Amino acid sequence: MGRDEHRNPSRKKSLGQMPKSQTAKAEDVEFSEELADENDKEAQARAEAARERARNIQKYNGM
């Protein structure tokens, strides 16, 4: 902090914000097994594994 910052405390530095165009949106999408490719099936397996880990953590923490 320099001398000027002590004299004018009303000058607050703003925090950087992420532009809305770069934020992810949570969208529910319909999944079609017939149209799924290998990447879709892998993503489904990863999502299920993450849900299972979350359930185990909740059980462990007594929630």
Q: Quick check: is 47 in a domain?
A: yes
With helix as H, strand as E and coil as C, how does the chain read? CCHHHHHCCCCCCCCCCCCHHHCCCCCCCCCCCCCCCHHHHHHHHHHHHHHHHHHHHHHHHCC
Render pLDDT for 44-62 as a digit per residue (tens, 0 to 9): 999 999 999 999 988 888 7
Query: According to the model, what pLDDT value does residue 5 have?
Result: 61
Amino acid in position 28: D
The parent domain of residue 40 ranges over: 36-63
User: In angstroms, rounded to a whole number, what is the distance separating the alpha carbons of residues 40 and 31?
Assistant: 9
Decide which of 49 and 1 is more confident: 49
Contact between residue 13 and residue 2 where contact means Cβ atoms under 8 Å apart: no
- When divided into structural domains, the chain yields a total of 1
Count of C-beta atoms within a 10 Å radius of residue 40? 13
User: pTM of this prediction?
Assistant: 0.47
Q: Quick check: is 48 in a domain?
A: yes
Render pLDDT for 10-33 as a digit per residue (tens, 0 to 9): 656 666 777 777 777 777 778 788
